[in-house]
Amino acid sequence: MLILGIDPGLATLGYGLVKETGGSLNTLDYGTIETRAGIDMPKRLVRIYEGVCQLVEEFSPDAVAIEELFFNKNVKTAIIVGQARGVAIVAAAKYNIDVYEYTPLQVKQAVAGYGRAEKEQGQSMVKMLLGLREIPRPDDAADALAISVCHIHHIGMYDKIRYR
């Protein structure tokens, strides 16, 4: 099973592709789709949409896992991130790929074993779980990989995974 994890954002959208085979996790790719400030919002959203479509066409994931929107007081930021999140979901839907949503708490629980874990702790666990030489950078990519691992956990494969 191949999962495309997405950490939504307008300026930087993180992605991570994790494949589960034979009880082990393998990282196929990770990175970011970036848009520059100063460009019209519709053009930035098109860039995100096209970037996610390109990933789906190249890797043919079995599912997309995306972080649910979380915000405290900045409603404007939440709306902007929600738009970026929406076009990523539409890109997956265009290819008839199921989309699963997870809260930040669920992602931390799946990766670090504790829903209130610090960001650094989660990133260290991503490195360990995926057998990477270093913590993935930027943070958005590491978070997207964590979201992929979270989905694998939630579909019942987690107890079969061999840690390297």
Token output for 120: 């650094």
Instruction: Output the CA torsion sign for 64, 48, 74, 119.
Output: positive
Annotated catalytic residue, options 7, 20, 34, 50? 7
Annotated catalytic residue, options 29, 67, 68, 98? 67
Q: How far apart are CA 122 and CA 133, in angstroms?
A: 15
Annotated catalytic residue, options 29, 98, 134, 140? 140
143 carries an active-site annotation:
no
Q: How far apart are CA 103 and CA 90, in angstroms?
A: 19
Contact 119, 139 (CB under 8 A): yes
67 carries an active-site annotation:
yes
The residues annotated as belonging to the active site are 7, 67, 140
